[in-house]
Amino acid sequence: MAGMKALLLRKHIVPLIAAVVIATLAGCLATAPPPAPGQTATGFTFGVIGDLGYSPQEEPLLANVLADLNRDTSLAFVVHVGDLSSPRFGCTEELWARRLAQFRALVHPLVYTPGDNEWTDCHAPDVPGGDPLERLAKLRTVFFEGNHTLGRRTFALTRQSGSGGAFAKYRENVRWELGEVTFLTLHVTGSNNGRGRSSDGDAEYAERNQANLAWLRQGFDDAKARNSRAIMILQQANLFHEFPPFPGTPQNPSGFSDLRIQLQLAGDAFRKPIVLVHGDSHFFRIDRPLSPRVTQNAPPVEHFTRVETFGSPYHHWVHVTVDPGDPNVFTFRQRLVTANLAPPR
């Protein structure tokens, strides 16, 4: 009789225990975060755009770029490095609303950092708005709400404003990590970074410059703490006037000198791949501008690479592959949008 009871217990309890274990495992799998699209065991890919859609005639070209990005389902995210249009349109809330809708409709997470055509250059007589500082304050309320990217699929961002204090308003400066790489944006614009035009503009530049320098230092500190394989900095302005074409002769005083020095110092100490991505000059290029010739007898930062994305009238984008197992970490490739190529003559 005792043997019969034991048999019955095994018959009913063992399957019950198995069912509980299976259900528990299923629950763990159900609540585990899914891998980000575009991310694999060996790395991931993303896209960079900027300086596009400068006139109503170019709006279809920008739409073609966004459609091409959407078709690449492997992308982990997209970064827009500023200049939503030319100042005539880029200073208007009508254009901002259109771009914001386009960014939100993108299938990929999108990170945006401002360009000069959204606020710095809004002082021109033929530009609606007219007040750069008013435009800047408004721009922050439109594009930088919440703590996630734009796009239909999103991920969380660390904002400089989250630390409060003197830099509480710099919501546009963000940082994120993926695949052993640290990414950060800096609010550095063309037109000499807003410096040298007016007294109130100079005051704004001085404050934002300190915020940018602090955020850059924190980015490198975070990358070191995480033992990141590399760091990528994304901004709008071209810092390197020595390399034609554009931007030509540097202004005095320069709105970029402090940042260049900080990049040199931080880069020399980091000793791992560093990439600065920007727009501004509308000229696709990949080079290493922190050379002895440019930095005036300072040691070269041989692991520093500059990448500039396409810009109007060339409506294309840059495809980036990240492979932590590659000594260079990053591989860059032009993505020419077929619909935007000039017809043969």
Per-residue model confidence as pLDDT tens digits over 46-101? 999 999 999 999 999 999 999 999 999 999 999 999 999 999 999 999 999 999 99
Q: What is the structure's pLDDT at 242?
A: 84
For residue 233, the cross-strand partners are 184, 276
Q: How many helices (H) and strands (E) does the chain have?
A: 9, 13
Q: CATH assignment of 41-340, given 3.10.520.10, 3.60.21.10, 3.40.50.1370, 1.10.1270.20? A: 3.60.21.10
pLDDT at position 16 is 38
Q: For the chain, give the number of residues.
A: 345
pLDDT at 27 over 50: no
Confidence of residue 292 (pLDDT cuts 50, 70, 90): low
Query: Which tens digit of pLDDT belongs to each residue from 328-344?
Result: 999 999 999 999 998 88
For the question of whether the overall pTM of this predicted structure is more than 0.95, the answer is no
Look at residue 344 in the predicted model and tell me its pLDDT: 84
Q: What is the pLDDT of residues 124-142, one digit of tens each?
A: 777 776 799 999 999 999 9
Whether pLDDT at 115 is above 50: yes
Could you say which DSSP state residue 305 is in? E
Is there a contact between 106 and 77 (Cβ–Cβ < 8 Å)?
Answer: no
3-state secondary structure of 234: strand
Q: What angle do CA 203, 208, 97 make, to 5 degrees?
A: 105
What pLDDT is attached to residue 42? 61
Q: Where are the domains of the chain?
A: 41-340
